[in-house]
A and B are shown apart, each in its own frame.
Chain A
Amino acid sequence: MLRYILRRLLTILPILLVMSLLTFILMQKTSGSFYDTLKLNPQISPETIERYIKLYQLDKPLLVQYFSWLTNLFHFEFGYSFFYNIPVADVIGGRLWNTFVLSLASLILTWGVAIPLGIYAALHRNKITDRLIQFTSYIALASPTFFVAMLLLYFASQSGILPLGGMHSANYDGMNIIEKFFDVLRHVAIPATALSISSIGALQRIMRGNMLEVLGQQYILTARAKGLPENRVIYSHALRNAINPLVTILGYEFAGLLSGAALLEIICSWPGLGALMLTAVQSKDIYLVMASFLLSGFLLIIGNLLADVLLARLDPRIRYEK
């Protein structure tokens, strides 16, 4: 299992390295080097400038700079944000958590709705309710997340029930822990819903298909022939087999989830990694771009590992080489 995890890490690391090198060099070439930006910025104290020039060997060739940036990463030194005028690490920590909250909320919503719907539709195949679910799913599947988000924001502005952006209310700091939880929940509702709509459509369709396929399997016949109650046949025999393939998909879904989350963070001004990355790209804040990019890869690895561990627990046929 450990070896498998390492292997997974090794697949994602090369792309992070190559991409970061590419970004590092090209951004410096196209929009000015750190060195110049740093020197020209009157808001940064000379001491700070001195410190970073030494830390990142900014007076040396680009490749040397890249490697010193890379080695500094291992000391959790992410560089300096020109846009925010503070070290990148200070900006980014909370952002990572916020993106995680949004992704998790969307994931829970998607699975919480799609799985029961899929099961229900499969058990009521071709009945009117099933057709309705399939039709709605089709529409949901084609709805662009950003468009859904805009519509939701518009309706929220008309009704005033939900906040129109951000992650906290103004008086967040004065709340107790339960109030804080519900405050975040109210804020996350719109971006998470928008992010989930089309995934729910897709996942529901897959779940329904899997369930129908599993119900036609012979072990279901065996279970019935054993005289098991119908509930047990469906929930203990069919369900697990129908869900397992979905967990496999989950690994690849994380990439999509993070991408979608990034877009919605921007639209709903959710203070996450994606929104940060956009600011960084727009303001050519090089260290921030690099750090955001690397951390998105980090989030992805965590998500994938969780999915793999889950799958290994659920399906005895999966054995990662020991």
Chain B
Amino acid sequence: MQIKNLAVSVNSKKIVDDVSLTVEERSIFALVGGSGSGKSTTGLAVLRLLAPGLEIKSGEAIFGGRDLLKIGAEELRQVRGKEIAMVFQEPLYAFNPVLTVGQQIEEVFTAHTDFLGEKRLEETLRLLDIVGIKDPLRVHKSYPHQLSGGMRQRAMIAQAVALKPRLIIADEPTSSLDVTLQARVMELFLKLRDEFDLSVLLITHDLGVVQHMADHVAVMNNGKIVESGSSGEVLKNPKHQYTRELLSYVS
């Protein structure tokens, strides 16, 4: 996927300004920045999920030969969930509280495939198993609030990889978890990348994560990318002052 010169504004004030980046096949691309840097907005803009009031001013998001910012609503819907999936920060809020986890994962199949009920159940249980949930049947029947934070995030990831998307946009997927769980969820991402041949656009404020996971990294500040490159290169040899600052607090 390639983002070219993306600009997003609210009340004619630009909060994402001229952002370009390329996520290679089967790679993990980290978009790093402090809060308010525009990194989450960039992720949401790709799937045109911005809150009302935020407006995409210009730019392209090329994916599979199409510009996601220009295609029609139905075509966009076909991309969402099927080819590009999202994982959010707080799985408690990202799941609908009144539907079971299983129902919500199965919805992905309902929306994009013609699987019948039994096949959907089978697939869902298989997914839950893949993300490391020990008793998939119980989790399938549970409501989000009945699961622990780590379990919920795993289920969320299972939902994201349901249709083997080519790209997952993960917006701070571990920030709400305890440190030990963070590590486990990150490992899961690495495992899934290898298993499903997918790429990940990882949005995070934590350069520590980047160090151990990402192939490429772009650092954002005030809506602009201030530095980007292979993660080894950027972290070893930061050029921009802001990157150096961020980095100095990690080690």
- A217: CB under 8 A from chain B? yes
Q: Which of A109-139 contact B (CB under 8 A)?
A: none
Tell which of B51, B77, B80 touches A216, judged by Cβ atoms closer than 8 Å.
Answer: B51
Give Cα A218–Cα B49 distance, bound, in whole angstroms: 11
Q: What 0/1 readout, one digit per residue, does chain A (219-251) give for beta carbons within 8 Å of chain B?
A: 101111111110010001100110010000000
Q: Which of B38-62 contact A (CB under 8 A)?
A: 44, 47, 49, 51
- A310: CB under 8 A from chain B? no
A218-B88, A232-B111 are known contacts. Are A225 and B49 too (CB-CB below 8 A)?
A: yes
Tell which of A219, A236, A240, A244 touches B93, judged by Cβ atoms closer than 8 Å.
Answer: A219
Give Cα A232–Cα B112 distance, bound, in whole angstroms: 13
How far, in Å, is B147 (CB) from chain A's closest CB?
12
- Count contacts on B: residues with CB < 8 A to the other chain: 29
Q: Which residues of A contact B88 (CB under 8 A)?
A: 218, 221-222
A225→B93 contact, CB < 8 A = no
- B90: CB under 8 A from chain A? yes
How far, in Å, is B68 (CB) from chain A's closest CB?
12
- B216: CB under 8 A from chain A? no
Q: Choose, from B95-103, B118-126, B127-135, B236-244, the stretch at the interface.
A: B95-103
Residue of A nearest to B145 (CB): A317
Q: Which residues of B contact A (CB under 8 A)?
A: 44, 47, 49, 51, 77-82, 85-86, 88, 90, 93-100, 107-108, 111-112, 143, 145, 159
Q: Which residues of A contact B (CB under 8 A)?
A: 216-219, 221-229, 232, 236-237, 240-241, 244, 314-317
- 29 residue pairs bridging A and B, Cβ less than 8 Å apart: A216-B51, A217-B93, A218-B90, A218-B93, A218-B94, A219-B93, A219-B96, A221-B44, A221-B88, A221-B94, A222-B86, A222-B94, A222-B95, A222-B96, A224-B47, A224-B49, A224-B80, A225-B80, A226-B107, A226-B111, A227-B78, A227-B79, A227-B81, A228-B77, A228-B81, A232-B107, A241-B97, A315-B97, A315-B98
Question: Which are the 6 A-B pairs with shortest beta-carbon distances?
Answer: A227-B81, A227-B80, A226-B81, A225-B86, A218-B93, A219-B96
